Amino acid sequence: MTSLPPAAKTPLVQVENLVKHFPVTQGLVLQRKVGMIRAVDGISFTIERGETLGMVGESGCGKTTTGRTLLGLYPPTSGRALIEEQDIFQAKGAQLLNIRRKAQIIFQDPYASLNPRWTVNDIIGEPLRVHHLRSSAAERTERVQELLQLVGLNAQHINRFPHEFSGGQRQRIGIARALASQPVFIVCDEPISALDVSIQAQVVNLLEDLQDQFGLTYLFIAHDLSMVRHICDRVAVMYLGLIVEMADRNELYENPLHPYSQALLSAAPIPDPKKSRAHQRTILSGDVPSPINPPSGCRFHPRCPLAEQRKNPACREVAPEWREVCSGHWAACHEA
């Protein structure tokens, strides 16, 4: 068996020690910085070409901030993010425009992510104009019609405005806009959470079909654990700005090592009533600590059942090491 060329072995996306802090200010006129929200506090991961990495966690854990900072929508506090070995944080001018063409995002809210004053033709055609992918207005219109058909919409509705579509149709328009620049990587920022349950499966199936057709790579941010297992190859679990566990989807769901991952999975509904009654849920105590002043040691220790049972002082005093517990299964826990 011949070995792959070096370029094929390099992950498409590489994130190294990514940090994003938001300043907290006080005062209306003379604003004084009184703290920092540690939204993302030093995470590293890679995504292989053609892979889907799922990112899960409670609201406010830093998932969306990770995706937006990775694409340069938020300026990073520190760290590196490489797409096809190009550092997006250091790129400028034509190089930055080229990276932005390759990396796109599908936003969570289809009602807020589309300009209400633009027609569908304007919305989807804008990436074609910005990246000079079609030279004339007629060619852009023709390409927009192709993209509408690709995502399952009627090409004759090209001159309609966003308010004339349903939520599921608007999200398809957002997907078509993301595809317009012919990207290789797409951040899917909870693309189905604002949709009806009956529409969610259709959108997920569309994303899978597009991935197969164009060889796309996804960072899929979501709350729905069953959907994440269905669409993702690997899953990263975030808590309070840090990734606490990462593994293959089946390995993570069948053998979660971090107590927070165990609590998340135990809260997922089970369709079988008998299994559901026999299933024991892990109820976490307290609320998520403030990201302005996170706990010392392991950030999960104030709510962790294992830390309470075993009374390990390291949980309160020492930040756990990010280590590979078994092949491909990483976790940051003193008790794992």
Q: pLDDT per residue over 285-294, tens digit each?
A: 778 899 999 9
For residue 34, count other CB atoms closer than 10 A to its CB: 11
Instruction: List the CATH code of the domain at 11-25+33-232.
Output: 3.40.50.300
Q: With 90 as the cut, is the pLDDT of residue 268 above it?
A: no
Q: Is the pLDDT confidence value at 7 over 50?
A: no
Helices (H), 215-336: 225-231, 249-254, 259-266, 273-278, 305-310, 313-317
Q: What percent of the chain has pLDDT over 90?
A: 77
Domain ranges of the chain: 11-25+33-232, 258-336
Please give the pLDDT value at position 5: 41
Q: What is the dihedral of CA 84, 86, 88, 92, to 10 degrees?
A: -140
Identify the weakest region by mean pLDDT among 2-6, 24-28, 268-272.
Answer: 2-6
How do residues 84-128 score in pLDDT, each as one tens digit?
Answer: 999 999 999 999 999 999 999 999 998 899 999 999 999 999 999
How many Cα atoms occupy the beta-carbon half-sphere of 58 within 13 Å? 17
β-pairing verdict for 13-26 and 78-83: antiparallel
Tell me which residue of 170, 166, 148 sits closest to 157, measured CA to CA: 148
Calculate mean pLDDT across residues 166-195. 95
Would you give the distance in Å from CA 216 to the centre of its chain?
14
Mean residue pLDDT of the chain comes to 91
Across 78-84, average pLDDT: 95
In the predicted structure, residue 204 carries a pLDDT above the cut 80: yes
Indicate whether 221 pLDDT > 80.
Answer: yes
Is pLDDT of 71 > 60? yes
**Cβ atoms 211, 234 nearer than 8 A:** no
> Could you give the angle at which helices 167-180 and 197-214 cross, rounded to 10 degrees?
20
The predicted structure's pLDDT at residue 271: 66
pLDDT above 50 for 61: yes
Q: Name the least confident of 1-5, 252-256, 298-302, 327-331.
A: 1-5
pLDDT at 3 over 90: no
Write the DSSP symbol of residue 288: P
Q: Which stretches does DSSP call E strand in 120-272?
A: 185-189, 217-221, 234-239, 242-248
Q: What is the dihedral of CA 193, 294, 333, 270, to 10 degrees?
A: -30
- The model's pLDDT over 124-177, given as tens digits with 9 standing for 90+, comes to 999 999 999 998 999 999 999 999 999 999 999 999 999 999 999 999 999 999
Distance from C-alpha of 244 to C-alpha of 329, rounded to nearest angstrom: 11
- 289/5 Cα distance (integer angstroms): 46
More confident: 79 or 287: 79
Confidence band for 6, pLDDT divided at 50, 70 and 90: very low
What are the contacts of 33-40 at 24+ separation with CB within 8 A? 35/292, 35/293, 36/292, 37/291, 37/292, 38/240, 38/241, 38/291, 38/292, 38/294, 39/65, 39/241, 39/291, 40/65, 40/66, 40/69, 40/241
Tokens 């892979």 sit on residue: 51
Bridge-based pairing of strands 103-106 and 185-189 is: parallel
Nearest to 169 by CA among 157, 178, 159, 179: 157
Give the C-alpha distances (Å, rounded to integers) separating 65 from 75, 278, 292.
10, 37, 15
On the question of pLDDT at 312 being above 90, the answer is: no
pLDDT value for 278: 63
pTM of the model as a whole: 0.91
Residue 274 confidence (pLDDT): 66
